[in-house]
Structure 1
Amino acid sequence: MAPAVSVITVVRNDAAGLALTRASLIAQDWRDFEWLVADGGSTDGTAELLAGWAGEMGWWDSKPDAGPFDAMNRAMEQARGEWLLFLNAGDRLADSKALSALAAAREHADLVYGDAVEEVAPGLTAIRPARRPRWAFYGMFAHHCAILYRHDQVRGLRYRTDLRIAADYGFTLEALRSARTCVHVSRPVACFASGGRSRTEERLGREEQFQLRRWTLCMPLAVCLSIRIIQFGMGSLRRFWPKFYGRLRFTSTFGP
């Protein structure tokens, strides 16, 4: 029988992060899922780890590719689940009940999303609540790793490999076009790994989002420029005044 959820992970030279992702999946109290991993030709032992875990995985491969979004497309072609969850290496499910909480909300929904946990300072994590999908014009309303997509609804979609940072935003915008019902799970469902491209290449990410607003959403130039300025300001707050930014965007600390 096909699983209810296909959890898709992409990785390249991050064996430690992949092990954290795997551990969070093993801990789940709801087991109706498969795990698929697309490795971009790692040289740090990741492929050897995957070979050792092959018996517990729905599918995996390891070969050079055009980047993480190309790998997501490759894994989607192998997914058998009714729903798709993209949990990159280093991302983790928030606790042992995260998948069951998402699964419980999927009836009569086209897209399910939850809150996320993010590192706000070294050793300190906090809950970042999701926005409503109507805020998608501004950017990702929830972390990519905290969104459950109905497979049939996105079957014809692919991540744009010409985008390095914002292809997940473009994919989600396209998914929302046909999503009649979006359900919010008001709890943390995933822990977002810090240090990824979306943080280290914020300027490029803002540029790609700008282009998606202009050509996918057909938003007026003045509005797109205004959003870009606001995002630059919020990014500056995050870098130079992280505590103040945390008060604006996070609700509470998370974990022990």
Structure 2
Amino acid sequence: MNAPAVTVLMPVHNGAGQLPAALDSVFAQDFADFEVLVVDDGSDDGTPAILAGCGDPRLRVLRLDRTGLIGALNAGLDQARGALIARMDADDEMLPGRLRRQVELFRRDPGLVACGSDYLLFGSAQGLVRTPHRDADCRAHLVFGSPIAHPAAMLRAGALRAHGVRYRADYPHAEDFKLFSELAAAGRLANLAEPGLRYRVHPGQVSQVEAGPQRTVQLRICAENLAARGVPVSTERLERLLWPSGGGWPDALRYAVRRLPELAVLGWRSHRLAGLGQALIVGRERLRRLLSRPAGDR
């Protein structure tokens, strides 16, 4: 059997409620040379039955005893047959044309190692999230957070294997951010300047349930990426810059006067103009969040 061009890697644990819509959105893509590798991480709900009832021959199922997300992702990397690996979560939906547009970009640019896209929020929040599109902007953003939305990402499998890049168990809840940080040493990063994913926002997702531990690991990665650029910064200082507390006009004004200039300096010192541009984008988003919260919120 010939290997497909793309492996769509989808880990799932007890995802019966949203899995059918996620699978349908992938199988409806206008680029057809792919396999869907679903890593069923010990599901004990209706997930196995849904997978067993899928009649599309492009589906492969890897059944594991409960190992956790990072173990499931690495098992998927080991079993993927495609030269390109497209990530997808079982509670999200792939927008039409995503795979085709990402594959076209990889074929035009042999040095590209990871490509995501802008994405749409749905569920308990709505809106369009824009990402940095050029390689320089993606690299500059790595000192402030992940530039690529994990379930919208496509990765070059050969670069992962040649450089020994995998999901790291010592970076839980931000393993994707660490992977992109390491993969950046192997080649270029990019995002499609159009939505490729509908990202479901709900109370049970990792960013809600594990918000505190995730933030701690994200700050650690940001500090490591800054140190690699010769700009050592403590995680405590980064937390004040990237996750300001409070809310309302007074706290927003204090952030604009005290913290935004610090953020801009970090961006400039790490990546010059691209870094400054990303710092201003990040700072503007933090100001928006402060203004959306009640005054005095902690």
Q: Which one-letter code corresponds to 2:143 in the other structure?
A: F
Q: Which residue of 2 aligns with 1:154?
A: 160
- Counterpart amino acid of 1:206? R
* Equivalent residues in 2 for 1:21-100, closer than 5 Å: 21-53=22-54, 55-94=56-95, 96-100=96-100
- Distance apart, 1:97 and its partner CA: 1.4
Q: Using a 3 Å threshold, how does the CA distance of structure 1 residues 7 and 19 change in structure 2: closer, same or farther?
A: same
Question: What TM-score do the two structures reach when normalised by structure 2?
Answer: 0.72
Q: Per-residue CA shift, 1:204-233, capped at 9, x if unaligned?
A: 111011222344653655353333223323
| 1:6 aligned partner | 7
In structure 2, the CA distance between the partners of 1:55 and 1:93, relative to structure 1 (3 Å rule), is closer
**Distance (whole Å) between structure 1 residues aligned to residue 9 and residue 90 of structure 2:** 10
For 2:243 and 2:104, locate their aligned partners in 1 and report how far apart those are by CA, in whole Å: 37
Change (3 A) 1:11 1:229: same
* Paired AA for residue 7 in structure 1: V
CA contact (8 A) 1:73 1:159 kept: yes
Any residues of structure 2 matched to 1:101-120 within 5 Å, and which? 101-107=101-107, 108=109, 109-119=112-122
Asked if the contact 2:226/2:232 (under 8 Å) is kept, the reply is no
Residue correspondence of structure 1 range 72-221 to structure 2 within 5 A: 72-94=73-95, 96-107=96-107, 108=109, 109-119=112-122, 122=124, 125-131=126-132, 132-134=137-139, 135-155=141-161, 156-179=164-187, 181-195=188-202, 196-215=205-224, 218=227
**2:166 alignment partner AA:** R
Seen in structure 2, the aligned counterparts of structure 1 residues 235 and 163 have a Cα distance that, compared at 3 Å, is farther
Indicate if the aligned counterparts of 2:41 and 2:64 stay in contact, CA closer than 8 A: yes
**RMSD across aligned positions (CA):** 2.7
Q: Which has the larger radius of gyration?
A: 2
Using the TM superposition, give the Cα deviation of residue 87 of structure 1 relative to its aligned residue in structure 2, in angstroms.
Answer: 0.5
How many Å apart are 1:106 and its aligned residue? 1.2
Amino acid at match of 1:226: R
Give distance in 1, aligned partners of 2:245 and 2:10.
Answer: 29
3-state SS of paired residue (2:30): coil
The answer for unaligned runs of 5 or more in structure 2 is: 249-283, 290-298
User: How many equivalent residue pairs?
Assistant: 240
Q: Is the 8 A contact 2:226 2:233 kept in 1?
A: no
Measure, in 1, the Cα distance between the counterparts of 2:74 and 2:119. Answer: 24
For 1:106 and 1:225, locate their aligned partners in 2 and report how far apart those are by CA, in whole Å.
38
Question: Gaps spanning 5+ residues in structure 1: where?
Answer: 238-243, 250-256
Q: Which string of whole-angstrom CA distances, capped at 9 and with x for unpartnered residues, describes residues 152-200 of structure 1?
A: 0112222112333111111111111111x33332100112222310233
Q: More deviation in 108-117 or 24-33?
A: 108-117
Alpha-carbon distance in 2 for matches of 1:236, 1:8: 39
SS at match of 1:192: strand
Amino acid at match of 2:233: A
Q: 1:236 to 1:59 in 2, by over 3 A?
A: farther
Q: Which amino acid aligns with 2:82?
A: G
* Partners of 2:193 and 2:41 in 1: CA distance: 34
Percent of aligned pairs with the same amino acid: 25
Amino acid at match of 1:142: I
Matches of 1:115 and 1:133, distance apart in 2: 13
